[in-house]
């Protein structure tokens, strides 16, 4: 027994010694305009694995800095790495790299390669924290990366057209990435995921991007929480994905002829909960999506709250609030294989005799006019005209055109309130 304890103390002692050695070995290299070392790329080249490179404030006109060993690159007093519009600035090809506190700017726009301010290629456990990226083609680009953290960065682009702008945060074939507290704007897509799985996207703000605030495809098992997507050219589009969780996000002011709060195409087995959709042309657009739980969301002041194409199946819409939307639900066919129940509709005119807060008359969220607009888009010019109101009233009393099954049998009389974690923006 005592023998055993003695052994373990020896081991711990040896481990401690080893740790001391490694700390002693890990050097610190200082870079500043007046230091012996004036170049970040040389410092990186000279550094040994585990070294810490401290870069002091100043402008460093350098590009194509390549990190291929585990080092920490730390900016003090906000140093600026200026790429001078020549290729990339920082490429990380090693795992366990830490980059913090820099401003990256002026990355070349290319139609041949995707130049990025920071690229992480085939590495894991890389942390990119509190950097600023200005006027870059691509901002932060992760390819074949694993278990990385992208946190607290501000990526501000200067894109003019979709073809000449890249994405702010771009993930390609990645796994278990955390994208947190970032603010991105002015790029083509704010956050772009392709084949990125099991990742957490939290507390980001994506606004004023040319195309989508968030765009992901083939990215299963991701979690999106507390993000804000605002005033993006076409809102948020997500495609060909399953098992995602979207909670407490805010989709706001995505307004335009081809803009969507949230566009879902071929999404399945996912949960959309506690989100707010405010003043979007279309709150949620669903095409070919199945087995979605859309619960406890607020749809406020949208043009269409939900556009549900007839090729969607087994979607459930429960306990949502629909308030002041021009159209609550629109669809394009007569078949409806989705379920609505317990939602609150501000256009509901029914009554509640037994006072259980559930309306006694079913509510049909699709109006005759919305069916007409879906079939004949130019009839939208009669919006808010007397004849349209008349037609809708008559159709509500005697439904003949609107889909028979699209009905909320238990509409809530009161606005549904639920716990929503306060956003911290």
Partner 1 sequence: MKTIIKHVLYDILRSRIVLAYTVFMLVLAFGLFNLEGDPAKSLLSLLNVVLLVVPLISIVFATTHFYNSYEFMELLMAQPVNRKKIFLSEYLAVALSLSAAYVVGIGVPVLLYGANATALFLLAVGVGITFVFVALAFLASVVTRDKAKGIGVALLLWVYFALIYDGIVIFILYFFSEYPLEKASLAMIALNPIDLGRIVVMLNLDVSALMGYTGALYKSMFGSGTGVAISFGILLLWVLFPLLTSKRIFSKKDI
CB 45 within 8 A of CB 23: no
Residue 351 makes contact with partner 1 by CB under 8 A? no
Please identify, using beta-carbon distances, which residue of 192 and 327 lies nearer to partner 1.
327
Q: Report the alpha-carbon distance of residue 134 to residue 136 in Å, rounded.
A: 6
Residue 19 makes contact with partner 1 by CB under 8 A? no
Q: Report the alpha-carbon distance of residue 419 to residue 162 in Å, rounded.
A: 39
Residue 387 makes contact with partner 1 by CB under 8 A? yes
Residue 233 makes contact with partner 1 by CB under 8 A? no
Closest separation in Å from C-beta 261 to partner 1? 12
State which of residues 122, 382, 392, 399 lies at the interface with partner 1 (CB under 8 A): 382
State which of residues 5, 8, 355, 384 lies at the interface with partner 1 (CB under 8 A): 384
Angle between helices 368-375 and 386-397 (to 10 degrees): 120
Please identify, using beta-carbon distances, which residue of 254 and 343 lies nearer to partner 1.
254
What contacts 422, CB < 8 A, 6 or more positions away? none
Please identify, using beta-carbon distances, which residue of 223 and 388 lies nearer to partner 1.
388
HSE (side-chain half, CA atoms, 13 Å) at 66: 5
Please identify, using beta-carbon distances, which residue of 277 and 304 lies nearer to partner 1.
304
| Closest by CA position to 223, among listed 270, 288, 264 | 270
| Residue that is written with structure tokens 């603010």 in the block | 183
Closest separation in Å from C-beta 420 to partner 1? 22
Residue 385 makes contact with partner 1 by CB under 8 A? yes
Site string for partner 1, 282-311 (x = CB under 8 A): ---------------------xx-------
Closest separation in Å from C-beta 282 to partner 1? 9
Residue 324 makes contact with partner 1 by CB under 8 A? yes
Please identify, using beta-carbon distances, which residue of 355 and 384 lies nearer to partner 1.
384
Chain positions 389 to 418 lying near partner 1, rule: CB under 8 A, are 389-390
Closest separation in Å from C-beta 258 to partner 1? 8
Q: Report the alpha-carbon distance of residue 279 to residue 276 in Å, rounded.
A: 10
Cβ neighbours around 136 below 10 Å, total: 31
Contacting residues toward partner 1, per CB under 8 A? 255-257, 259, 281, 303-304, 324, 326, 372, 375-390
């Amino acid at each position: 027994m005592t023998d055993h304890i003695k052994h373990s103390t020896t081991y711990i002692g040896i481990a401690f010694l080893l740790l001391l050695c490694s700390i002693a070995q890990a050097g610190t290299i200082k870079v500043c305009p007046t230091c012996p070392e004036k170049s970040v790329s040389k410092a990186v080249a000279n550094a040994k694995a585990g070294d810490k490179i401290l870069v002091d404030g100043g402008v460093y006109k350098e590009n194509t800095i390549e990190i291929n060993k585990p080092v920490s690159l730390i900016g003090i007093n906000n140093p600026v790495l200026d790429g001078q519009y020549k290729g990339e600035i920082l490429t990380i090809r090693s795992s366990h790299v830490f980059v913090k506190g820099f401003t990256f700017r002026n990355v070349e726009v290319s139609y041949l390669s995707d130049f990025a301010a920071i690229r992480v290629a085939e590495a894991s456990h890389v942390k990119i924290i509190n950097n600023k990226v200005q006027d870059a083609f691509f901002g932060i680009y992760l390819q074949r990366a694993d278990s990385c953290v992208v946190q607290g960065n501000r990526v501000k682009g200067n894109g003019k057209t979709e073809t000449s702008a890249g994405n702010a945060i771009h993930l390609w074939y990645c796994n278990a990435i955390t994208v947190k507290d970032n603010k991105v704007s002015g790029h083509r897509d704010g956050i772009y995921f392709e084949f990125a799985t099991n990742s957490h996207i939290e507390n980001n703000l994506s606004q004023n991007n040319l195309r989508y605030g968030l765009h992901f495809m083939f990215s299963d098992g991701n979690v999106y929480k507390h993000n804000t997507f605002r005033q993006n050219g076409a809102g948020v589009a997500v495609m060909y994905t399953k098992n995602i969780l979207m909670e407490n996000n805010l989709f706001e002011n995505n307004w335009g002829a081809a803009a969507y709060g949230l566009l879902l195409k071929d999404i399945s087995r996912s949960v959309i909960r506690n989100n707010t959709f405010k003043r979007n042309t279309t709150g949620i657009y669903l095409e070919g999506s199945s087995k979605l739980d859309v619960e406890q969301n607020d749809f406020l002041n949208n043009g269409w709250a939900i556009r549900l194409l007839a090729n969607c199946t087994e979607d459930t819409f429960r306990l949502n609030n629909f308030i002041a939307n021009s159209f609550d639900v629109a669809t394009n066919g007569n078949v409806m294989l989705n379920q609505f129940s317990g939602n609150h509709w501000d256009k509901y005119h029914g009554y509640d005799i037994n006072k259980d807060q559930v309306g006694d008359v079913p509510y049909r969220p699709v109006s005759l006019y919305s069916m007409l607009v879906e079939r004949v888009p130019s009839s939208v010019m009669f919006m808010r005209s007397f004849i349209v109101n008349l037609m809708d009233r008559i159709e509500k009393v005697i439904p003949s055109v609107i889909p028979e099954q699209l009905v909320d049998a238990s509409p809530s009389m009161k606005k549904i309130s639920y716990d929503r974690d306060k956003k911290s923006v």
